[in-house]
Amino acid sequence: MTLLDSTIWSKRFFSDGWQDSPTEYAVVEPATGDQLGVVGQATAADVTRAATRAAEAQREWAARTPAERAAVLRRAGDLFAQHSAEVEEWLVREAGSVRAKAAFEAGLAVGECYECAGLPSHPQGEVLTSDEARWSFARRRPAGVVSVIAPFNFPLILGLRSAAPALALGNAVLLKPDPRTAISGGVVIARIFEEAGLPDGVLHLLPGDASVGQAVVEAPEVRVISFTGSTPVGRMIGEQAGRLLKRAHLELGGNNALVVLPGADVAKAASAGAFGSYLHQGQICMTTGRHIVHESLVEEYVATLAGKAKALPVGDPAREEVALGPIIDHRQLERIHGIVTASVEAGATVAAGGETKGPAYLPTVLTGVTTAMPAWREEVFGPVAPVLSFSTLEEAAAIVNDCEYGLSVGILGDVGTAMKLADQVDSGKVHINEQTVSDEPNAPFGGMKASGTGSRFGGGAANLEAFTETQWLTVRPDIADYPF
């Protein structure tokens, strides 16, 4: 039996074992429209039962020794490595990932579990000074039940990067994947932790529609909500969390800038720009959505980038060697083309692409853009690279910051100049002489402004902050004397 044998999960969801569901929906391959399987759909009532069970199981899980929890996370990492080929195949077929992206994501999953295996043994607080005759401590305690809502684009790692540290730190997890990637973003995680020996009731996989999303936010047992997705949905979840007095970690959209400084190597810069804009068809929150190029290089850069765009093969990643696969669904495909068309009607020029190819969108380069055009101002979430020139470093900084988002910035060229620019931009991440897409399990990940609430995922300090509560604890040698 393989890890993802459909006889285990077909028409089921995972909550204290695999449960049959009266409702279900098809898993569809975006490249072909073929049905890959059938997922059991949870309901709001299922979430209610799962949250109650999770709260019960969490107390027992948190009481396990750090070594016991660490062992489950290490075993999960081993299993991801052992079953990487199977996991990658699902990422290719269900999420439309090209094989290199699928391999990268599966590798990140291994690293995430190994990194999180160290969390149980991290220092869990600090000793405080006190003017009283007592010891005073601030210690970290598990938050309790954590709801994780994950998107379709990097479905495995964007669910796992919250679920794994939450579990390692003694929490229980309700995981709601995007319905379009419920296998690679949900079943994979459930099966890995099931095989790794995670106790029953600690992790619940609850695929479903918006009513399930609402339920995992509102369940009284849930204390922390970790959401990765669009800014409009994130705003709604943040409002609900505020009303319910729950913490919400919101990792939202981005319209990320790549700045090409004067004197930069144009060939290398265009290669970086193409990777940043076209990896996974531009369906990444960190995608390079704005190319800001010094006026002395802009013509050469556009020509080089357009040449690369025209040469990149586009097609079905499961059956061809391609650089770009399909857009996740027809609705998103139409949205991308609508943004490009509106920008062209406003005066932009298509230097490459600008067309659909079956379920895919050709890698696109736009010139003659203004900052008012939708291809510049909006998060396209597609393989579209608009280019704008600048003359001074101050102008470049102003263009970068003239954006509602603040997730990732890449700066290419002279390091000293890049450092000066980095000090002027509002961004959760800055990469000098790299493009905008980058992630590591031990690095704090998150954005500013409309890119999120400032919370971070990754590394010991950020994960401890995200998935634990601080408790003040004092100890006296004897019962204190009081004036009553």
DSSP string, 352-410: E--SEETTEE--EEEES--TTSHHHHS---SSEEEEEEESSHHHHHHHHHSSSEESEEE
Of 92, 91, 110, 105, which is closest to residue 157 (Cα–Cα)? 105
Helix or strand run (H / E) with residue 477: none
CA distance linking residue 60 with residue 342, whole number of Å: 56
285 catalytic? Reply is: yes
Q: Is 183 in a helix, a strand, or coil?
A: helix
116 catalytic? Reply is: no
Q: Which amino acid is at 2?
A: T
Catalytic residue among 105, 112, 251, 379: 251
Of 14, 13, 41, 36, which is closest to residue 25 (Cα–Cα)? 41
Helix and strand tally (H, E) in the chain? 16, 23
Catalytic residue among 88, 116, 221, 285: 285
User: Are the CB atoms for 258 and 390 separated by under 8 Å?
Assistant: no
As given in the structure block, the two tokens for residue 188 are 């994979």
CA 204 to chain centre: 19
Tell me the CA distances in angstroms from 215 to 52, 141, 220, 222, 452, one per residue in order: 12, 25, 10, 10, 22
Q: Which residues are catalytic?
A: 251, 285
